[in-house]
Chains A and B, each alone.
Chain A
Amino acid sequence: DTEVTQTPKHLVMGMTNKKSLKCEQHMGHRAMYWYKQKAKKPPELMFVYSYEKLSINESVPSRFSPECPNSSLLNLHLHALQPEDSALYLCASSQEVQPHYGYTFGSGTRLTVV
């Protein structure tokens, strides 16, 4: 299995809702990432997990809450989002050290906040 699977593919939520994005990989990668991508822009790093521990938080607002329940799963919990948070949310994984095979990305969750 060489894929990163993200669910759901599309999500529409209101500003008062609570929802979660899910990401799964079975490549034995011990580093996992959340990126946010606006239309026609490059992906921007949000969080990095290394061996299930949060190692990088790029000053992301607290309405985004990541969670890594085990080495294969990564969640992003969403609460009280704003319309400007609408974007493609990408999950990625890599080997922890010297990622010789690069970073593998999922297809993303297209989030719309109304």
Chain B
Amino acid sequence: GQQLNQSPQSMFIQEGEDVSMNCTSSSIFNTWLWYKQEPGEGPVLLIALYKAGELTSNGRLTAQFGITRKDSFLNISASIPSDVGIYFCAGRRGATNKLIFGTGTLLAVQP
């Protein structure tokens, strides 16, 4: 099926560093969502984006809806150990309720 490509695949950083990851597609999406998933748990919504060019923050997290509507970006500032997990982007096209997930970015933060 259709897939959203996330990069990087994994990141190993020191506490306090800033993190950037992105999600790209060959198709246009009208909603972008960013989720974090910890082991043994379901994905938890971090940020939702609904308009091209939209920039939204949630604490230390900032995400942007790409102007072409084919990509999205997530930044985490001043990372802390509890930021560890897998970050997934997810996109929705048209009027469908079908949500497609990206391949994920594994984040490890060393204290």
Quick check: A106 and B50 within 8 Å, CB to CB? no
Interface size range on A against B: 20 to 34
Q: How far is the CA of A40 from the CA of B39 in the complex (A)?
A: 10
A-B contact count (CB 8 A): 65
Q: Given A100-B48, A100-B50, check contact A105 B43 (CB 8 Å).
A: yes
**Does residue A58 face the partner (Cβ distance < 8 Å to B)?**
yes
- For the complex, count residues of B whose C-beta is within 8 A of A: 27
Complex partner residue of A45 from B31, B86, B88, B99, CB under 8 angstroms: B99
Contact residues, B63-111 vs A (CB, 8 A): 86, 88, 90, 92, 95-104, 106
Name A's B-contacting residues (CB within 8 A). 4, 6, 31, 33, 40-45, 48, 50, 55-56, 58, 90, 92, 94, 96-97, 99-108, 110
